[in-house]
Amino acid sequence: MVAFYADENVTDELVQALRGYGHDVLTSFDDGRANQGIDDPDVLARATQLGRVVVTNDRWDYHRLHEQGTPHDGIVTYTDDSDYPALAARIDAAVAPHLSLTGLLLKVIRPSRPQKP
């Protein structure tokens, strides 16, 4: 299972769903760092200091940090989806094949909804 660091954009419903898959999820709130306007590079550095993978829907900033070569223990970004159990299942499936996420960026995307005829 993965040790995640959930930034303050991650809902409690998703945190609980990920914990249901056995993942160890530390939230920025639990870490005493919520609602302080902490910049994303500092959040990533904190997660790395703790040996945790950042999970966030703040995709563009974290993709940029990864592309700049910022060292990290892993980043998982996702597109918004209010079906938190399904989103947690997609995140779990994305991380499952990896023995380590160090230096990896995984993008979890909500599937397209079928078009009505």
Q: Which residues are bridge partners to 3 per DSSP?
A: 24
CA distance 25 to 56: 12
Which pLDDT tens digit goes with each residue over 8-21? Answer: 999 999 999 999 99
The pTM assigned to this predicted structure is 0.92
Q: What 3-state DSSP class applies to 42?
A: helix
* pLDDT at 117 exceeding the cut of 70: no
Q: 35 pLDDT exceeds 80?
A: no
Mean pLDDT of the chain: 93
pLDDT of residue 36: 82
